[in-house]
Amino acid sequence: MSGGAQLGHRNDAPPVSQTVLYPLRFAPIYQYRLWGGRSLAGLLTAPLPDGPIGEAWVLSDREDHASRVADGPLNGRTIGELLAEFPEQVMGRLAGPFRRFPLLLKFLDAREMLSVQVHPSDAHTDLLPPGETGKTEAWVVLEAGAKSRVYAGLRPGATETVLRQALANGDLADRLASYAPKPGDAFFLPAGTVHSLGGDIVVFEIQQNSDVTFRLYDWNHVDAKTGKPRALQVDQALACIDFGESAGGPAAPVTEQTTPVLRERLFHCDKFRLSRLRSETPFSVGAPGVPGVLVCIEGAGEVEHGGATYPVAKGDVYLLPAAIGECTFEPRGAVTALEIAIPE
């Protein structure tokens, strides 16, 4: 069972130096969003707080929202604490380049439309707060309905002047590339891509560990908590847009392996590598010397390591520290998982 949305630090936890690392499961951190719903209750076992919940941060190395280990000897420790005390054991060959975990992983439930937004790239140093990076991200659609929409990229002919006029006319959506998503679709959103989604859709999101978003348009939403519209950052958003980036639509999965697991490569970019795994028989996950992440999106099973087993339920996220190397996943029936690697 997944832990609660917030876990307190256990004062009786042993010092990290006396603890052997193991596959680490993290408790979700739920986030109120005016566009959210209640669908994450069907994906995660940790009870949802009241109100519209738009996001569950399931692996976050951020001071304001730090993921905590959900069970085992390290229960309650944050990922930041582990990286500070155990950098080589957690990150392996990546310990030098990364002082914090470089990815932020989430589940999103967009009952209404997200704002039309843009994220800066690493090159936009003038728009990045101190300590932040750019934000390239990707979505994997888990649930979608007849009204679900994904906006990703611009239609031909969209320039800054055209977008400013569209904002004035209230028809910005007509200038965006639009898709009717279905479960299994995956969308790559490089920094600088205009994007939005909503209409009863649940996705897994992988992104650089950054929380910088510039809103271009917000569908005339009014935040029930404040009674006011949310702030827009039109000039910053327009400054970030990569007008040379063409909309690509859903990614075409590349089959890399068929037995004992169907392994499909969804995205391999310089920020992350994301693969989808489907199997009913045991298969390997993780790799020696580098960290990996396993996200179960359908079914259940167990991760085996060092003679111990770690239960994996739908919605669970496991960090596989570099020191533990390769593990075996034992499905209980059909299972679908995402495996994440950080490029060296």
For residue 293, the domain's CATH number is: 2.60.120.10
Which pLDDT tens digit goes with each residue over 44-89?
Answer: 989 999 999 999 999 999 999 999 999 999 999 999 999 999 999 9
Count of structural domains, the chain: 2
The residue range of the domain holding 303 is 254-341
Can you tell me the distance from the alpha carbon of 190 to that of 62, in angstroms, rounded to the nearest whole number? 21
Residues 272, 234 within the same domain: no
Which pLDDT tens digit goes with each residue over 246-302?
Answer: 767 999 999 999 999 999 999 999 999 999 999 999 999 999 999 999 999 999 999
Residues 184, 268 within the same domain: no
Residues 82, 166 within the same domain: yes
Which pLDDT tens digit goes with each residue over 126-172?
Answer: 999 998 999 999 999 999 999 999 999 999 999 999 999 999 999 99
Residues 280, 191 within the same domain: no
* Cα dist from 319 to 177, 183, 211, 323, whole Å: 35, 25, 21, 11
69 falls within a domain: yes
Q: How far is CA 315 from the centre of its chain?
A: 12
The overall pTM is greater than 0.75: yes
Can you tell me the distance from the alpha carbon of 338 to that of 298, in angstroms, rounded to the nearest whole number? 10
Last residue of a domain, one of 180, 215, 240: 240
Closest CA to 134 of 296, 306, 270, 14: 270
2 falls within a domain: no
Residues 334, 217 within the same domain: no
Which pLDDT tens digit goes with each residue over 203-233?
Answer: 999 999 999 999 999 999 999 889 999 999 9
10 falls within a domain: no
